[in-house]
Amino acid sequence: MKYPALYVLLVCSTLVTAYVVFLGAVSIWVGLRHADQDGSWMPMVTGALCIFVVLWFLFRVARSVLQALARNDSLNVR
């Protein structure tokens, strides 16, 4: 294991993302269940926006962490 903190960061960000995606899905579901009421579009838009933003953030974090893990750090001390 090269950088254990990076793995922990990746796992924690994935867990937070899963939680926010779950909340977004519940929000969309509530909006769809109450489609006959005024303003039912708001939970759907908010849930979709939350899911989009958190997935975008996760992909950016995952890409930077994986690039940091793939970097070759050689210690050629003379």
Residue range 48-58, pLDDT digits in tens: 999 999 999 99
Residue 77 lies in a domain: no
Domain total for the chain? 1
Residue 63 lies in a domain: yes
Residue 76 lies in a domain: no
Cα 26 to Cα 36: distance, rounded to the nearest angstrom: 17
Query: Could you list the residue range(s) of the whole structural domain that residue 59 is in?
Result: 8-70
pLDDT in tens, 22-45: 999 999 999 999 999 999 999 999
Residue 14 lies in a domain: yes
Residue 57 lies in a domain: yes
Residue 2 pLDDT grade (very low, low, confident, very high; cuts 50, 70, 90): low
Residue 63 pLDDT grade (very low, low, confident, very high; cuts 50, 70, 90): very high
